[in-house]
């Protein structure tokens, strides 16, 4: 088990720190991923061994909770396991090792909080930028563009500050939308105020801009109402077919009219819109977009206060659309990025939202830039939430290691051996960085 965990650790060890190397991974389909992110590497490895799988899950958990430091936790966990294995071989019971490790962990956390952590208020914005730079230093953005992207990460997180503490979060990262556009250099990436939706207007005859915008989010089809699977209709008279087709179109027209009558002038649907139905939006001076992803729909709903409507049925069994379901924004207009039309949503009512536009030469580069920036924004958010910062570059691990060695000598029980090994294991981070 320990050998498997150490093998996993050795795979990601060479990607830690500013001199760390990127890994190129090819999956079964032949898709190539070039990345430096520990969690991404381990996710693509398809590990079978149960003990090694725990390390993969540990990296995923770290990625969800903190957003960065995935490589460090894997290396540290593997080193702790290796040293614990040596203690067990020296006839020290595993329970004693676990008790010693737990004691060392509590003491280390106490020491970091009381002595090593510095409140961020005293250090100001510069500390936030430097922390983002530290996160980016091992990534593809860490060389030439670290200043630009570190400031971009800080600005993006600061812009999402919410007055209402939603889900216990003052800085919801879901408010930062990232859009990748191939072409130009990475240094031409920028933050755009508002939400950029990567979808064009459904018809060129629609207005290019509406202000103020009332947004309807629909989760159903605005195409001709079709029969359900397995339902057949037998007709004796061919003239009836035309009537049925007209009725199908009328049903869709009625639904669109209900939405427009409720005051909506921007309509996003996750399904399709019939070409024959687009004229109703054009005549109603409304913008409509089809096949918007559910992820985009949820983000727009959160920012504008709109409610996603999955069908139009009401309690009476009829169809209706309530104006309270609409979301509000200052302006919605069509813009162009590269040669692709996009929809811009400016000034949403409930929550400030911004879009980070990432430019890069190819898809692999853009994907890695996105992963790097997500890590950096997660670190800045964590810093603002906890209001504490510690030194980087392995300094903190070395300081805690020295403290634990002194602490171990004060104990008379056998746990002191485990604490001493814990202290030694912490030095694996500075050693790896110093290679």
In angstroms, how far is the first alpha carbon of the chain from the final one?
27
The residue annotated as part of the active site, out of 68, 274, 296, 375, is 375
Whether residue 70 lies in the annotated active site? yes
Furthest-apart CA atoms within the chain: distance in Å: 98
DSSP 8-class letter at 285: T
37 catalytic? Reply is yes
CA 352/CA 195 separation, integer angstroms: 9
Q: Is 27 a catalytic residue?
A: no
Q: Which residue has the tokens 């009558």?
A: 261
Of 33, 35, 40, 70, the catalytic one is 70
Token couple for 52: 């090694």
Q: How far apart are CA 40 and CA 25, in angstroms?
A: 10
User: Cis peptide leading into 208, omega within 30 of 0?
Assistant: no
Sign of CA dihedral 212, 218, 222, 225: negative
CA 33 to centroid of chain Cα atoms: 18
Active-site residue (options: 71, 131, 304, 432): 71
Tell me the H-state helices in 112-238.
120-123, 125-137, 146-159
Tokens of 60: 């995923």
Residues serving a catalytic function are 37, 70-71, 375
């Amino acid at each position: 088990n320990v050998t498997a965990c150490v093998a996993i650790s050795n795979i990601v060890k060479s990607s830690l720190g500013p001199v760390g190397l990127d890994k190129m991974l090819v999956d079964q389909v032949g898709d190539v991923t070039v990345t430096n992110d520990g969690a991404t590497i381990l996710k693509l490895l398809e590990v079978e061994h149960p003990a090694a799988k725990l390390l993969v899950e540990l990296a995923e958990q770290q990625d969800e909770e903190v957003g960065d430091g995935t490589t460090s936790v894997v290396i540290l966990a593997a080193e702790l396991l290796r040293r614990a294995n040596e203690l067990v071989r020296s006839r020290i019971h595993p329970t004693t090792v676990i008790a010693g490790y737990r004691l060392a962990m509590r003491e280390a956390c106490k020491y970091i909080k009381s002595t090593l952590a510095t409140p961020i208020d005293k250090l100001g914005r510069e500390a936030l930028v430097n922390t983002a730079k530290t996160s980016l230093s091992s990534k593809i953005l860490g060389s030439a563009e670290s200043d630009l992207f570190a400031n971009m990460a800080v600005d993006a997180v600061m812009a999402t500050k919410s007055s209402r503490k939603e889900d216990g979060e003052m800085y919801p990262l879901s408010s930062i939308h990232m859009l990748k556009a191939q072409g130009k250099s990475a240094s031409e990436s920028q933050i755009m105020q508002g939400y950029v939706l990567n979808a064009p207007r459904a018809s060129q005859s629609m207005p290019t801009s509406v202000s103020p915008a009332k947004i309807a989010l629909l989760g159903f089809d605005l195409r001709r109402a079709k029969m359900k699977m397995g339902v057949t209709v037998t007709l004796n008279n061919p003239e009836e077919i035309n009537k049925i087709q007209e009725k199908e179109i009328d049903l869709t027209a009625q639904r669109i009219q209900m939405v427009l009558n409720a005051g909506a002038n921007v309509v996003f649907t996750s399904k399709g819109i019939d070409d024959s139905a687009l004229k109703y939006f054009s005549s109603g001076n409304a913008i409509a977009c089809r096949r918007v992803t559910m992820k985009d729909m949820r983000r727009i709903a959160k920012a504008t206060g709109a409610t996603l409507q999955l069908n139009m049925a009401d309690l009476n069994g009829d169809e209706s659309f309530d104006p309270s379901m609409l979301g509000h924004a200052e302006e919605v207009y069509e813009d162009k990025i590269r040669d692709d039309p996009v929809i811009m949503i400016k000034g949403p009512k409930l929550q400030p939202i911004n879009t980070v536009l990432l430019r890069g030469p190819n898809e692999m580069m853009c994907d890695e830039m996105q992963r790097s920036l997500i890590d950096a924004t997660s670190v800045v958010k964590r810093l603002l939430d906890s209001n504490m910062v510690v030194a980087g570059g392995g300094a903190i691990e070395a300081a805690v290691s020295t403290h634990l060695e002194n602490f171990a000598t004060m104990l008379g029980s056998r746990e002191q051996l485990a604490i001493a090994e814990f202290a030694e294991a912490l030095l694996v981070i500075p050693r790896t960085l110093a290679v």
